[in-house]
Structure 1
Amino acid sequence: MKIQCIKAYQVDLPLYEGSYNWSGGKSVSVFDSTIVSVETDEGITGYGEVCPLGPFYLPAYATGTRTGIAELAPHLIGEDPTQLLPLNQRMDIALKGHPYVKSGIDIACWDILGKVSNQSVCTLLGGRYGEDFMLYRAISQQAPDEMAAKVATYRAEGYRKFQLKVGGDPNIDIERIHAVAELMEPGDVLIADANTGWLMHEAARVVRGVRDVDVYIEQPCLSYQECLAIRQRTDHPFVLDETIDSIEALLRGHADRCDGCRQH
């Protein structure tokens, strides 16, 4: 089996709430998604998708996806799409960096492998754990009472996990967290996601201001080390994602924390 053709389709995905707002005044009203199709000489086609959250969130943007795919595609014609490791190595040779561009092609080739082997991609990746999972609802950054009203609406729809978009004025963020926390019931999960929007002194003010609230703090500051410093000032559980760009960075942070504990 060989790759015969790679195509990219642009699709607009309007937001149900009209806009999605988070720290630093960032917002998006339409997700610019790219659907990737990888066609083979045996008539089997795989599909993938790349949908970055605008160019100001992570180093990925929609038009870059499609431009990158146009650059990559000629280098992949004739390759076996079921040989995932060699294919990804080929992509890395043909285009340095830009992993988000390659992800849609990679997903499409996993889809082909699943169709060829008559297995779900879930099975190919190791199998399914559990029969169900709880979704969480992101709450776009607005005034505290408006965010609380949205949480009340979504709770009525069955949601029990809520991610508040904070990372703005610390005083208002404290109000936002308290306003929503008053609606929480046993079993609910509340996350305050700053999207790296606070400076360290602002993050410190917020964790002090909500020390009586059962809330996870997500991505308070720009760097992993800054987030770690804030974590050491509070008992709140933390969630980190976009500041963790490698296992090495995570291990370095763990080693630094252990050294700090030994010194004290």
Structure 2
Amino acid sequence: MKIIGIAMWQLDLSLTKPYWLSGGRLKFEKLDSTFVRVETDADVSGWGEGCPWGSTYLPAYGPGIRAGIATLASSLLGQDPRSLEAINRIMHMALPGHLDVKSAIDMACWDILGKVTGLPLWRLLGGTNADPVAVNSSISTGTRDEMIALIRDAYSDGYRKHSAKIGGTDPTADIARIQAIEAALAPDEKVTYDVNRAWLPAVAIQVLNKVSVRGWIEQPCETLQQCAQVARRVKQPIMLDMSAFILLRTTCRLGA
């Protein structure tokens, strides 16, 4: 089996209402999504998607994904899409970094592998059971009442875990917002408070030592070192995503 073509389409995905991150400093009204189809000579195709949160959230954006796929396409023609390690090695040689670009193609190749083997993706990735996974709702930054209303709407839709976007320039407002949300939660609910790197360590420590939460605090500060500094001085568990990605990207670039 060999790759004979790679096609892609752009689609704007409009949000039902404006969505704010990180204390309101980042606003999104639509997402620029890229759909990719990897075609083979065995009449089996695989699909992938790249859909970053705009261009201000992380170092990924829609037009860049499409430009990167166009750059990679010629190096992938004639390759076996079922050889995932080889595909990723070829992509790295043709375009170091840019994991957001490669992700959509990687998805499509996994899709092809699942189709030709007749196995679900969770089995291909080494899973032993297809256990259900609880999915978080995503709660936009807003006033206390606005955020609680969004959580109640999500609860009525079946969500019991929520990711609420907080963080900003007013620590007192963040403390009041967290306290109000926690007081409004049902017994079977938990909230992860996602700060999206908006706090300096001193602000994070000030806020988190004033509140009690059932869930986690996600990415309170910009860097891994800053988040570690906060984690040593607060009682809440700290969850990382952005700085963990940056660490992974740096490690891959250095070849560690």
Asked if TM exceeds 0.5, the reply is yes
Superposition CA RMSD, Å? 1.8
Structure 2 counterpart SS, 1:97: coil
**Residue 84 (structure 1) aligns with:** 84
Q: How far 1:182 sits from its partner (Å)?
A: 1.0
Structure 2 matches for 1:1-264, cutoff 5 A?
Answer: 1-16=1-16, 18-23=17-22, 25-127=25-127, 129-168=129-168, 169-210=170-211, 212-245=212-245, 246=247
- Check whether the contact 2:69–2:102 (CA below 8 A) recurs between aligned residues: yes
- Check whether the contact 1:82–1:113 (CA below 8 A) recurs between aligned residues: yes
Structure 2 counterpart SS, 1:15: strand
Tell me the amino acid that sits aligned with residue 120 of structure 1: P
User: Which structure's relative contact order is higher, taking Cα pairs within 8 Å and 6+ residues apart?
Assistant: 2
- Check whether the contact 2:223–2:243 (CA below 8 A) recurs between aligned residues: yes
- Check whether the contact 1:148–1:176 (CA below 8 A) recurs between aligned residues: no
Q: How far 1:191 sits from its partner (Å)?
A: 1.4
Structure 2 counterpart SS, 1:19: strand
* 1: CA distance, partners of 2:123 / 2:214: 36
Structure 1 counterpart SS, 2:217: strand
> Which sections of structure 1, spanning at least 5 residues, go unmatched?
251-264
* 2: CA distance, partners of 1:247 / 1:62: 22
Deviations 1:164-189 (A, max 9, x none): 10111222111211111111232321
Q: How far 1:12 sits from its partner (Å)?
A: 1.3
**Residue 254 (structure 2) aligns with:** none
> Which sections of structure 2, spanning at least 5 residues, go unmatched?
252-256
Tell me the amino acid that sits aligned with residue 19 of structure 1: P
**Residue 253 (structure 1) aligns with:** none
TM-score, normalised via structure 2 length: 0.91
* 1: CA distance, partners of 2:47 / 2:249: 32
- Check whether the contact 1:144–1:172 (CA below 8 A) recurs between aligned residues: no
* 2: CA distance, partners of 1:144 / 1:158: 21
Q: How far 1:153 sits from its partner (Å)?
A: 2.1
Tell me the amino acid that sits aligned with residue 134 of structure 1: A
Q: How far 1:156 sits from its partner (Å)?
A: 2.5
TM-score, normalised via structure 1 length: 0.89
Alignment: residue pair count = 248
- Check whether the contact 1:192–1:217 (CA below 8 A) recurs between aligned residues: yes
Q: How far 1:130 sits from its partner (Å)?
A: 4.7
Structure 2 counterpart SS, 1:182: helix
* 2: CA distance, partners of 1:128 / 1:195: 33
> Which sits farther off after the overlay, 171-180 or 37-46?
171-180
* 2: CA distance, partners of 1:122 / 1:213: 32
Structure 2 counterpart SS, 1:30: strand
Q: How far 1:224 sits from its partner (Å)?
A: 0.9
- Check whether the contact 2:37–2:108 (CA below 8 A) recurs between aligned residues: yes
- Check whether the contact 1:160–1:188 (CA below 8 A) recurs between aligned residues: yes
* 2: CA distance, partners of 1:111 / 1:197: 37
